[in-house]
Amino acid sequence: MRAVSDRYVQSILDLPRPTKRALAVLVDSCLCILTIWLAFCFRLNDWVTLSGMQLVTIPVSLVIALPIFITMGLYRAIFRFLGWSAFITVIKAITIYGLAFMAVFTAISFPGIPRTIGIMQPLLLLLAIGLNRFMARYFLSEAYKRILRQNTQTNMLIYGAGSGGRQVAGALSGSADFKVVGYLDDDKSLHGSLIGGVAVYDPEKIVELSTRLNVRTILLALPKIDRLRRNEILEQLRGARVAVRTVPDLNALAGGQAEFTDLQELDIEDLLGRTPVQPDQALLERNIRGRVVLVTGAAGSIGSELCRGLARLKPAALLILDQNEYGLYALENELTGNNPDAGLQIVPLLANVCDELRIQKIMETWRPNTVYHAAAYKHVPLVEKNPVEGVKTNIFGTVAVARAAIDTGAERFILISTDKAVRPTNVMGATKRLAEMALQGLAAEGASTVLTMVRFGNVLGSSGSVVPLFRQQIRQGGPITLTHPEITRFFMTVPEATELVIQAGSMAKGGDVFVLDMGEPVKIIDLARRMVELSGLTIEDERNPSGDISIVTTGLRPGEKLYEELLIGDNPEPTEHPKIMRARERFIEWEILTPKLRQLSSAADEGDVEGLRRILSELVRDYRPFDGVVDLVSIRQGATQ
């Protein structure tokens, strides 16, 4: 019934302005006639039919009332927005009308028309028009709000008709943004049934449903399904042109940090489209629980996530070191707030890893058992333009922290490395590879500290990751920018990367290079398409020129590869963890490397960029600085000659 009335109101609101004014004049004319009849009925105490001289009151009333009402602006106001000033105007207009009407039928009088008609009818007209304006304002404004809300609400389907889905539907029932028009569920016995008046549909008909029901958003309310099934569902939804959202994590809901109505974008794992590597809890805790742990570069995306994971493993103390003051402050507050009753000692340390005296003093004071070295400059184009700082931080900062760890008897030192260290084509990759080689050389010297490194691919969600960039570009309507349509990368999530670092460090024997079996590499353009499609949009290309988001290629940046690798050699060894491999790769003995590092340090101090590149090329044999597309085959052939 309400839907019918809303359609009727919408039809009135859609009328041209002159037509609405004419309609208002017609209604007021009818009210004049009605109140004249009622005045005679009340005066004569009977339901009478007007006749003879009594009919004269009708044209006189209309001739007096309508010009006054029109002149005083009663038909210029928009009824649904009427305020007290408009009602005051109505009172004034009817007062003027009443005086004129009384002058005719009360003061002058006509045979057969009681004098009291001239008094009663204006009072009844004031009441009738006042009620008419009030009711029009109330019902039109309420109907308009409902219509506006319906027009601005996004039709939504909830995937999952279980208790979680029903709770979400109940929470969204009063939402001004979303309207639940149905459920999707894999249980065929529910198809066609109603839950709380909302129909349950077959997910296989999603394309048809999204068009028929004008669905713009699908909410995943399936907290207990495994990652494989979740990925299958997302693939099924990609062609439906709907934005896919999720409800908050169950732990966040249970802890009160989120509500069912806090809809979220898809997780990084959903965008990656593969099952994350599961951690081994024993390996995670082996060198952490009850130990003093130091993390350098703690305020960065990898370092901060590493600290979060370490804090959950209950170390005796967690030393967080960074030169970013605000980042360190924010991380300390977060870790302290998330672990108020754990008895965990969080120690923030402001320092630059290149400051050898400061690092040595910190190590001597706190004597950490395990050191995770995440401090580095990792942004390829920036380091390419600032090679001196890249060399100082990535190489000599690593050596400074490692030597301090050895001098103070740390049990383990783990360097967080990158796949860009494999056959590098840029300064960042070359500096990270040389940092690896320095650790391998120190380990071969028989250092008491176990020195190791963990190498992995691109981290989705980290600073500089393509995911936040693509999300921002999609929100802005595009275009999405790619450096090359064929560019391919290994990907992992931030939690995966940090868990790998912790577990690999537990298995280290000294001089090891650990890499993750990350499965097949991902083309960046495929990731971009997946993000666009799961946002309910389409790609604009030759096949679909009317698409929503275009993809633009800007050309490879200096030192950027089309493809990345994780291994230099071809014979990785298995480890205790099925997804972690150990590589033993060529390095330079510490005695030979030391004088070369002194030359590199001198070149860095003098700002000699050409000298830096030359020495890097001598030490990292596979380093081939390229601008443009990199031919991996020729690089491998050059490395073997």
Place of tokens 């030169």: 323
Closest listed residue to residue 203, CA positions, set 243, 236, 244: 236
Helix axes of 117-152 and 17-44: crossing angle, nearest 10 degrees: 140
Beta-ladder partners of 481 = 552
Note the helical H segments in 516-631: 524-533, 590-606, 609-619
Biggest CA pair distance of the chain: 131
The one-character DSSP state at 196 is T
Amino acid 93 reads: A
Residue 108 is given by DSSP the state I
Say if strands 194-195 and 198-201 run parallel, antiparallel, or are unpaired.
Answer: antiparallel
- Residues 251 and 230: their CA atoms lie apart, in Å, by 19
**Looking at this protein, which amino acid is placed at residue 534?**
L
Strands 522-523 and 488-489: antiparallel
Cα 264 to Cα 256: distance, rounded to the nearest angstrom:
16
**Structural tokens at position 102:** 């009384």
What is the rounded distance in angstroms from the CA atom of residue 315 to the CA atom of residue 371? 12
Q: Which two tokens stand for residue 420?
A: 């860009």
**Which residue, among 207, 170, 205, has the nearest Cα to 185 in the 3D structure?**
205
Q: What does the H/E/C string look like for 450-465?
A: EEEEEEECEEECCCCC
Dihedral, CA of residue 428, residue 433, residue 437 and residue 438, to nearest 10? 20
Q: Inter-axis angle of helices 84-102 and 117-152, to 10 degrees?
A: 160
State how far the Cα of 377 lies from the Cα of 144, in Å rounded to an integer.
57
Residue 408: what are its φ and ψ, rounded to 5°? -100, 10
Between CA 219 and CA 166 the distance in angstroms is 12
Give the CA distances from residue 244 to residues 205, 532, 535, in Å, rounded to whole numbers and listed in that order: 16, 11, 6
Q: Are 123 and 94 in contact (CB under 8 A)?
A: no
| CA–CA separation, 193 and 140 (whole Å) | 35
Partners of 573 in beta bridges: 582
DSSP one-letter code for 535: B
Q: What are 337's two structure tokens?
A: 């707030």
Q: Give the active site residues.
A: 420
- As a whole number of angstroms, the distance between CA 572 and CA 583 comes to 5
> Distance between CA atoms of 566 and 100, rounded to whole angstroms?
97
- Where are the strands (E) in 79-160, listed by range? 154-159
CB atoms < 10 A from the CB of 274, how many? Answer: 16
Query: What values do phi and psi take at 86, rounded to 5?
Result: -70, -40
Joined tokens for residue 468 = 């936040």
Q: What is the Cα Rg of the chain in Å?
A: 38
Do residues 304 and 324 make contact, with C-beta atoms less than 8 angstroms apart?
no
